[in-house]
Amino acid sequence: MTTPAEKDIVIKVENLTKRFGDFTAVNQISFEVNKGEIFGFLGANGAGKTTAMKMLIGILNPTSGKANVAGFDIYNQPEQIKRNIGYMSQKFSLYEDLTIAENINFFGGIYGLNDDEIKFKSEELLTKLNFHAIKNNLVSSLPLGWKQKLAFSLAIFHSPKIVFLDEPTSGVDPITRRQFWDLIYEASHNGITVFVTTHYMDEAEYCNRISIMVDGEIKALDSPKELKNNFQIDSIDDIFYLLARKAKRIE
Ligand SMILES: Nc1ncnc2c1ncn2[C@@H]1O[C@H](COP(=O)(O)OP(=O)(O)OP(=O)(O)O)[C@@H](O)[C@H]1O
């Protein structure tokens, strides 16, 4: 029988490991993420974040360990996982040579929504992003920050249980990043769990909990407040630096 507490866990990872030949990219990581939580997945370059995320979204086979994502097993049910999650990477998947409206229709179709659903959700999205007047503009003509907001909105267009974001705000200014985070908060408020990697320490502060990965291992995991308490250091940036400078891997 599932207890109420277990029901709220949407990602459960136990001793997950990935080796490439003799090299252990991800070494026995374990953690849980709760429904609606904003979980920050931090680590220096080469720490193993992307490798771990690829295993969780069902596109890379682990060497050993277990993980359950959105209620499905990563070894046996990767297709169900893909249907229940959203994903946005730094090189997001928008079609630059299509308009905003065409991108929305295209993704709605891929996600298997019917025409009425696409129409309704499309209106909602254009209103939220204030994109009505520019909906027939090519995506290639948009500023990076606007593309990121559109890519995020499309990553959650099908109301997934979890959205995975791999450095979603790379390369834009702090104000645009803050606006992007308003969308993240809204998604989390609506029950979508957010799993996000970032290099920006101000963004780490916005997360409910963060994990810090060094050389393939999770070296710290807690809320920003508790981490500061435990390390007796008043800045996530300094805690990150303290842990990351011990890294042997230099990318
Ligand atoms: N297919 C592969 N074959 C061999 N080594 C790999 C492969 N993929 C990743 N690695 C290595 O595994 C380590 C972790 O890489 P990963 O991309 O997961 O790190 P990351 O934390 O996401 O870093 P970044 O922030 O730079 O994206 C790196 O040393 C990388 O070179």
**Per-residue pLDDT tens digits for 129-180:** 999 999 999 999 999 999 999 999 999 999 999 999 999 988 888 899 999 9
Q: Rounded distance, CA 72 to CA 82, Å?
A: 10
Contact 159, 86 (CB under 8 A): no
Q: In the prediction, which pLDDT does 251 show?
A: 59
Q: Is the pLDDT of residue 116 over 80?
A: yes
- Phi, psi dihedrals of residue 59, rounded to the nearest 5°: -110, 0
Measured CA to CA, the distance from residue 198 to residue 45 in angstroms comes to 10
C-alpha triplet 60, 65, 67: angle, nearest 5°: 70
Atom number, ligand 1, closest to the C-alpha of residue 213? 21
CA of 121 relative to ligand 1 center, distance in Å: 36
Quick one: tokens of 84?
């229940």
- pLDDT for 3: 52
CA angle 218–29–222, rounded 5-degree value: 45
Whole-prediction pTM: 0.92
Q: In what order do the strands lie in the sheet with 72-73?
A: 23-34, 9-20, 64-69, 72-73
Mean pLDDT on 233-239: 94
User: What beta strand segments (E) does the chain contain?
Assistant: 9-20, 23-34, 38-43, 64-69, 72-73, 85-88, 162-166, 193-197, 209-214, 217-222
pLDDT of residue 245: 84
Q: Report how far residue 64's alpha carbon sits from residue 14's, in angstroms, rounded to the nearest whole number.
A: 9
Structural contact between residues 199 and 29, judged by C-beta atoms closer than 8 angstroms: no
Q: Which of 16, 18, 20, 56 to mutate to test the pocket of ligand 1 (most atoms within 8 A of CB)?
A: 20
Do residues 148 and 182 touch, judged by C-beta distance below 8 A?
no
Whole-number percent of the chain with pLDDT over 90: 82
- Ligand 1 pocket check: which of 49, 51, 57, 90 to mutate, most ligand atoms within 8 Å of Cβ? 51
Dist. CA 227 → ligand 1 center (Å): 26
Instruction: Indicate the domain borders of the chain.
Output: 37-61+80-244
Q: Is the CB of 91 under 6 A from ligand 1?
A: no
DSSP state of 169: T
- Which residue lies with its CA nearest to atom 26 of ligand 1? 45
pLDDT at 200: 86
Name the nearest CA neighbour of 187 among 219, 154, 213, 215. 154
* pLDDT surpasses 80 at 1: no
51 lines ligand 1 (CB under 6 A): yes
Ligand 1 and 47: CB distance under 6 A: yes
pLDDT tens sequence across 79-112 = 999 989 999 987 767 999 999 999 999 999 988 8
**Superfamily of domain 37-61+80-244 in the CATH hierarchy:** P-loop containing nucleotide triphosphate hydrolases (3.40.50.300)
State the pLDDT confidence band at 244, using cuts at 50, 70 and 90.
confident
Q: What is the mean pLDDT of the chain?
A: 92
> Does ligand 1 lie within 6 Å of residue 49's CB atom?
yes
The pLDDT assigned to 7 comes to 62
Question: What residue has token string 């252990």?
Answer: 24
Which pair of structure tokens corresponds to residue 69?
């994502």
Ligand 1: which of 26, 49, 215, 250 to mutate, judged by most atoms within 8 Å of the beta carbon? 49
Contacts of 238 (CB under 8 A, 6+ apart): none
Tell me which H or E stretch contains 177: helix 174-189
Between CA 43 and CA 49 the distance in angstroms is: 7
Strands (E), 51-140: 64-69, 72-73, 85-88
Q: Letter for the amino acid at 55? A: M
Nearest CA-CA partner of 81 in 61, 47, 57 = 57
Task: Please work out whether the CB of residue 46 comes within 6 Å of at least one atom of ligand 1.
Answer: yes
Contact status, residue 16 vs residue 28, Cβ threshold 8 Å: yes
